[in-house]
Amino acid sequence: MEETLTCKNTKLLSEVERRSGTKVSRCFQCHKCSTGCPVAPDMDYMSSQVMRLIILGQEEELLKSKAIWLCASCEACTTRCPMDIDITGVMDVLRMMAIERKVAEPDARSKEFNKAFLTSVRWHGRVFEAGMMAIYKLRSKDFFTDMDKVPKMLSKRKLALWPHFSRVAGEIRKVFKRAEEEEKKR
């Protein structure tokens, strides 16, 4: 039998829908998003389950989950959703809510990685992988994990040592600034 939504339940759904600009309530649990997600096997909740938990108002469960930090923002789920739900945007909102409400994520390194990624995009207009990894390693103090992959990545030209700036880097910085101003108004 369908679970009855309480006021508390709908409060979470309303907040996520308002901040992401997408209608999570349209989800009919077809699981197309989850079957296309490259990190689903490692997640505690797959994307379709995340949508369901939002509808059921399970805020604490969601903000503490590993899933929101493992999401790689690849947008495969969003592309596959027949209901046009911006699942990637929803994951972003849940991460923001977890930070704002000071919920400790299962692995603090995920948060540092996320910050390093955004810092790199903010300054270069795109990801500069070597710079992003340097920021991440300094912040997380996780100096050795994955370092054995660096020589192979360099030899295959998958890791540039000098940054390439996007032609629209200035515009992207303005977007970050506007987003910060919007956040302050909340």
Q: Is 66 in the site for ligand SF4 (CB under 6 A)?
A: no
Stretch that binds ligand SF4, among 82-90, 96-104, 144-152, 176-184 (CB under 6 A): 82-90
Instruction: Return the SS3 of 143.
Output: coil
CB atoms within 10 A of CB 166: 13
Return the residue of 18, 21, 23, 28 that touches ligand SF4, per CB under 6 A: 28
Q: Is 77 in the site for ligand SF4 (CB under 6 A)?
A: yes
Tokens, residue 28: 């009919």
Q: Is 81 in the site for ligand SF4 (CB under 6 A)?
A: yes
Minimum distance of ligand SF4 from residue 170's CB (angstroms): 27
Q: Is 55 in the site for ligand SF4 (CB under 6 A)?
A: no
Residues 6+ apart with CB under 8 A from 23: 17, 83, 85
Tokens, residue 98: 């977890």
Minimum distance of ligand SF4 from residue 40's CB (angstroms): 6
| Nearest CA among 132, 134, 58, 128 for reference residue 97 | 58
Tokens, residue 175: 């977007």
- Interacting residue ranges for ligand SF4, rule: CB under 6 A: 27-33, 37-39, 47-48, 51, 71-77, 80-81, 83, 85, 87-88, 91
